[in-house]
Structure 1
Amino acid sequence: MPLTDYDVLLWDFDGVILDSMHIRDLGFEKVLSEYPPEQLNELLNYHRRNGGLSRYVKFRYFFEEIRNEAVSEDQIKYLAGSFSDVMRKMLINPDNLIHDSVSFIRKYSSSVEMHVVSGSDQEELRYLCKELGLSEFFSSINGSPTPKTELVSALVERRSERFALIGDSMNDFDAAKSNGVDFFGYNNTDLAGVGSGYINSFAAIL
């Protein structure tokens, strides 16, 4: 079914609306600069394989799985806050927008209900969308620490409209599948053949 025939579109943010993965890498490098480089590289590999997971999960993975040490919720929150401070400074450059998808959002947001569901920090997302002039196009902007599966569930429960989620990771596909939502991959050819279709370019839809 064409994207414009859905009643509601759910959008991942990083890698779909904003080209930010390389900047997220820098954020982890800055926040965890005191730790051994080989451990940081292991975290970055995990981060790149799991784009849809929140930084809260990734910081916990760093300590519990890579460093084999306990970490408190307060420590995780502190690190996540420091990471967000770096992101707010580095990600407000409009040159990082993926104009292919953003052009589609701007054109169709008045006719199709749209929401952001992301693994990135919710307050940070709302700040970035405001600074980048995107807030007006979305009915809601939702992020971590709530897991993406729960974010999607909260939007689709008790509603009968036709939903689709657009994402660039298997975590996005899993969140869609677990909630009975159609999934379209974008900006990651490993997702071709997964879900309801793959979007090579939104320009062909405009």
Structure 2
Amino acid sequence: MSDDNTIPSYALVFDFDGVVLDSATLKRQAFADVYRQAPEAQYRAVVAYLSRRGGQPREVKFRHIEEHILGKRASDARIQELCRQFKDSVEERLLAAPPIPGALEFLSDWHHLRSLYLLSATPEQELKAIVEQRQLALYFKEVVGAPPDKATGLRNLISRHQLAAKATVMIGDSYNDYRAARSNGTLFVGVTANPAQSPFPNDVVTIKDLCTLVQALNLL
């Protein structure tokens, strides 16, 4: 880290997929693959839904797909079976997913200087296992997964660590992350690999990857 790089004394809350690991697209495809045998129109509707619904627990996504796209009544047992299929499909691929450019460098440079947290819609036990296997746990004061939903998880994290909302920044790649930040009164930086398809309002500070996160934090 160069001497002229500095950021305000923010607490930083990172989403995981698409922010720390380049795994958001991988996970969307794994979701879609569960419905590969569905009629083409339904499969396309599933893909379209997944493209705009990042940052939600997988149970929520599967229940919406089953009930509102496929028109089925989804039992809890059915949802849990779909979640198991998804977990089995994605687990090994997550261990090989590359980091988002700049992510490891930022975490390494700043984890001793700022309070860093990880907040994901991935089930918490599964999230912690991946974080440990990828040797990322040392960077974060706390790793938080689902349940609850992202907004509640952020609110609970702020309360547990007695953080000031206006001095806390959520860093996420989905509108759901942005909504969680807004509902809790925190600042927000959006990560979007394709700015032309950004899910965020025009006034949101966005970056393509974490190589420019320091500069983005100084724009807030």
Q: Same fold (TM over 0.5)?
A: yes
Q: Residue 165 of structure 1 corresponds to which residue in structure 2?
A: 170
Question: Where does 1:24-63 land on structure 2 (aligned, <5 Å)?
Answer: 24-63=27-66
Cα-to-partner distance string for 1:81-128 (whole Å, 9 max, x where unaligned): 22112221111015x211312211121011111111112222222122
2:68 is equivalent to residue 65 of structure 1: yes
RMSD: 2.3
Cα-to-partner distance string for 1:153-185 (whole Å, 9 max, x where unaligned): 101126243211001121111000101111111
Residue aligned with 1:166, SS = strand
Alignment-mate amino acid for residue 132 of structure 1 = R
Residue aligned with 1:115, SS = strand
2:186 is equivalent to residue 181 of structure 1: yes
Residue aligned with 1:99, SS = coil
- Residue 22 of structure 1 and its aligned partner are, at CA, apart by 2.8
Q: Residue 207 of structure 2 corresponds to which residue in structure 1?
A: 199
- Residue 192 of structure 1 and its aligned partner are, at CA, apart by 6.5
Task: Give the conservation status (yes or no) of the 8 Å contact 1:56–1:145.
Answer: no
- Could you say if the C-alpha distance between residues 3 and 27 of structure 1 is closer, same or farther in structure 2, counting changes exceeding 3 Å? farther
CA distance in 1, matches of 2:84, 2:147: 12
- Residue 187 of structure 1 and its aligned partner are, at CA, apart by 2.1
CA distance in 2, matches of 1:34, 1:3: 51
CA distance in 2, matches of 1:106, 1:86: 30
Deviates more, 1:138-147 or 1:25-34: 25-34
Alignment-mate amino acid for residue 165 of structure 1 = M
Alignment-mate amino acid for residue 125 of structure 1 = L
TM-score w.r.t. length of structure 2? 0.82
Task: Give the conservation status (yes or no) of the 8 Å contact 2:66–2:72.
Answer: yes
TM-score w.r.t. length of structure 1? 0.87
Alignment counterpart, residue 9 of structure 1, candidates 12, 16, 24: 12
- Residue 201 of structure 1 and its aligned partner are, at CA, apart by 4.9
Gaps of at least 5 residues in structure 1 are none
Question: Where does 1:137-156 land on structure 2 (aligned, <5 Å)?
Answer: 137-156=139-158
Gaps of at least 5 residues in structure 2 are 216-220
